[in-house]
Amino acid sequence: MNVKSALTTFLITTLFCLYVIGQSINKSTTKISIDSFIENKMKETGIVGIGVSIIIDKKVAWTNGYGYADKENKIPFTTSTIMNIASISKTFTGLCIMKAVEEGKVSLDEDINKYLPFKVINPNFPNDKITLRHLATHTSGLADRYPFYTDSTYFYGGSKPEPLGEFLKNYFVQGGRYYSKDNFLNAKPGTNRDYSNIGAGLAGYIIELRTGKTLNEYAKKHIFKPLKMQNSGWALNEININKHSKLYEKKGDSIVQIQFYEGTTYPDGGVRTSVQELSKFFISLLNDGKYKKTRLLKKETVEEMLRFQYSEQNKPENVKLNKVNQGIFWATKLGATRIGHNGSDPGVRTFMLSDLNKEFAVIVFFNTSLTEEDEGKFFDIYEELYKFAKDIKKKQTTSR
């Protein structure tokens, strides 16, 4: 090899090495940056544990856990830590509804009173039918009466909730223990969007009646088993409690542990799973009902579940389409820039959101409730993870 060739080879090799080192430093710096950001926010707020999964092009691209699932015993929060996911559970109820539609057991547009052993009638509009589509798009005119809902549907420390059907009958039927005209809006079905957890409970109950299976049995057959979500369930007795995160709440300057609980209206928020296993479910929704070789629903069924149900010609009067839209227990979030669902319950804050094109998505669990003035910190962390996901997507695209 002559001197000129040797020098050229040396320069090329040096430049390549510098490029590789630069790429490593860049990736490492990004990783350190996201870790530092989250860890600093945790110190600032008192959040005890966090689990994260980033999905790029329908595949898990990055996961991590931070802090503790059990602060007292120093057990780390990992991507396999189980936690109740609050209202993200509604997307599981939504898939169960759509599976029952596929099986011909329900219609989205039939009067729900055809399916129920008691009548649900809005006293303000007694002749207007309410449908599963109304329930699943929060336009039924059925309301969560506060503070009754939060005071009477959460059961702590092993105490058992009232059976779902009994509760709903008492809530919606005149003469029932919980009946009130305030359980209903002064709005015809379809004309007003009002987020209703009890409406979601009613939708889940209808699926139980029509399939002859409890919602957890139906979900196990059509979601958990096919996706090998072995550490997921709809009740505490269905999962390994030793893998379940402890739950915490910020009170003043203190972080206190709260008891495990279950809910009467469990179709609205009862699912317990991990970041790792929820990723499979989310990917299946983003990927037309399919995770790897496993199909949960037909493509056209998933399209209907995720389709924006509101349009200029057919939308609730109080909805601005550039702010919010709605699928079947599937929603736009953050000014209609994301799709998926959030969740919030005592000791729990969760996000399962994708960009509108389903190219990159973030799942994040927090096992700590913050004070109202700190609530925005959850969104700060989520948004930083969303930027990180965008960055991963961009790097993958440019490296192809």
* Separation of alpha carbons 327 and 314, rounded Å: 13
Task: Locate the domains of the chain by residue range.
Answer: 45-398
Residue 338 confidence (pLDDT):
95
- Quick one: residue 335, left, alpha or beta (phi over 0 = left, psi -120 to 50 = alpha)? left
Q: One-letter amino acid identity for 21?
A: I
CA distance 67 to 7: 51
Q: Hey, what are 204's tokens?
A: 């889940």
The C-alpha atoms of residue 162 and residue 117 are separated, in whole angstroms, by: 17
pTM of the model as a whole: 0.91
The single-letter code of the amino acid at 342 is N
* β pairing state of 348-355 and 360-366: antiparallel
Query: Pick from 85, 208, 219, 203: which is nearest to 136 by CA?
Result: 203
Q: What is the pLDDT of residues 36-55, one digit of tens each?
A: 999 999 999 999 999 999 99
CA–CA dist 2, 7 (Å, integer)? 9
Angstrom CA distances, 35 to 64, 82, 283, 396, stand at: 9, 22, 24, 20
| CA pair distance 60, 41, nearest whole angstrom | 24
Q: Is the dihedral of CA 162, 155, 201, 285 positive or negative?
A: negative
Identify the helix (H) or strand (E) that includes residue 17.
helix 3-45
The rounded distance, in Å, linking the Cα atoms of 382 and 388 is 10
| Mean pLDDT in consecutive groups of 10 residues from the start of the chain, 400 residues | 42 42 43 88 96 97 97 97 98 98 98 98 97 98 95 90 96 97 97 97 98 96 97 93 96 93 96 98 97 96 96 92 95 94 96 96 97 90 95 81
Q: Quote the pLDDT of residue 32.
A: 66
CATH number for the domain running over 45-398: 3.40.710.10
Question: What token pair was written down for 200?
Answer: 């979601």
How far apart are the C-alpha atoms of 375 and 114, rounded to whole Å? 42
Query: What is the rounded distance in angstroms from the CA atom of residue 210 to the CA atom of residue 104?
Result: 10
Cβ distance 140 to 183 under 8 Å? no
Instruction: Write out the two tokens for 245.
Output: 């995160």
- pLDDT value at residue 55: 97
